[in-house]
Every structure is written in structure tokens, then in C-alpha cells.
Homo-oligomer: A and B are copies of this chain.
Amino acid sequence: MSEFPRTPRNRVKRLPKRAQYDREPVYAVVDSAPICHVGFVQDGQPFVIPTIHARIGDTLIIHGSTASRMMKHLGSGAELCVTVTHLDGLVLARSAFHHSMNYRSAVLFGRGENITDQAEKLDALKAVSEHLAPGRWADVRQPSTQELKATTVVRMPIESASMKSRTGGPIDDEADYALEVWAGVLPIALRAGALQADARLDVSIPAPRYLEVLQH
């Protein structure tokens, strides 16, 4: 399994036993989350923006409006940090100090590049669509030339990355186990609800199987 080199940028300093540098666990976090948070710097000021994403091999894809100054900046070779987080639970210990969260998070580093090739751009947009709802792309009207022009797609070759996670119940100080305090985990997860048809949907059109399976 191929590992990202450990450099000062991606090395996890705190609780290093929670960290992993192999592509597989890092990408498992990236691929199973619907959104990421993109960090960038302008005039020394950090900005963090949520957006949807996809991964193609060792490249992260994000997109936005061509009218967006942010997208222009992201595609101009800017240093980016893309963080993907799953919150898995609240860890309730017997002391305030040992409370924690169960989570999985991946932090990716690289520089953004504007995709100009039209075929590559279309493939990247398809990847974003399929990441969120596999099967959707083939079912909907494809982007027109004008719509493609109105969309900026940025690829970030993943230069460096790491993931960090915590699982399991609370770890209390030995003396605290005698306290009469409830302890355990409150699991938390992102869940989809029931599909809601558009008000203008022709009622003879059923929800496709690839969307039904996304419901919980």
C-alpha cells in the first residue's frame, strides 16, 4: 500500500497513534463524505469554504462558477488544504477532561490548477456528480457548451496527506470508574432522509433505484 511521505506539512504531531499516511485509509475518508472544507490564503488571511468534491486517482476535484473570484484564485496554483471530516460520535467520560469525539478526518495538501481541456473538465464534473449520486449523470441533461464555460473546475494533485481517527468508548482515569456517572458513546452520523419530489415533477416519473438506495 502506498504511503504519503511524512513531512512537516502532513505529519500528525498530537496523538500520532491516531494517524495514518497510507493512501487507502486517507481516500476512504475522502470518498465517503459528501463535502469537504477548502482552505486557502489571500493576503495572509486564511479562508475556509465548504464545497462538494470528488477524487480521481491522486487528484482532488472541486468546481464552482466561472464568475467566482475564489474559483479563479483556487485554480491559479494557490496552496490549498482540503479537509474532509466524518463525525462519528460523542465520547462521554466520567470526567470532563476525558470527554472526546469519535471521528475520521483526512487532510490533503496540494496546489490548485484550472482544468482547461473540455473532455477532462466533463470527466471531472461527472466524477463530482457520481461521487454524490452514482447513476445520476447518465440520467440527466448533459452540460451545454455555455454551461461548461460558466463552470470552473479545479484539480488539486494530492502532494501530501494524512488521516486521523478516534473510535471506541471513553478511557477514564482508573479512580474515576468508581464514580456514579453514566459513561459511553452517543453515535452520530450524516443520514439521508426520504426523497422529496419537486413540486413540478410529473407524478408518473418514479424515483430511480440509484436514488432510492441513498435513503435511510
List chain A positions with a Cβ less than 8 A from chain B: 9, 13-14, 34-35, 37-41, 44-50, 52, 64-65, 67-70, 79-83, 85, 87, 90, 92-97, 99, 101, 103, 105, 107, 109, 125, 129, 132-133, 136-137, 139-144, 147, 150-151, 169-170, 176-177, 179-202, 205-208, 211, 214-215
Contact = CB atoms under 8 A, between A and B. Distances in A.
A133 B214 CA distance: 29
A79 B99 CA distance: 28
Given A13-B68, A46-B40, A87-B34, A214 B186 contact: yes
Contacts of A194: 187
B196 A169 contact: yes
Given A67-B14, A87-B34, A186 B195 contact: yes
A184 B206 CA distance: 11
A181 B211 CA distance: 12
A211 B198 contact: no
A39 B147 CA distance: 32
Contacts of A94: 140-141
As for how many copies of this chain the complex holds, the number is 2
A180 B136 CA distance: 13
A interface secondary structure, majority? mixed
Contacts of A82: 48
B35 A95 contact: no
A14 to B, nearest CB: 5
25 contacts: A35-B87, A37-B37, A45-B79, A45-B81, A47-B81, A48-B107, A50-B85, A50-B103, A90-B214, A93-B140, A96-B125, A96-B141, A96-B143, A97-B147, A141-B176, A169-B199, A177-B200, A182-B207, A182-B208, A183-B198, A183-B201, A184-B197, A184-B198, A188-B191, A188-B192
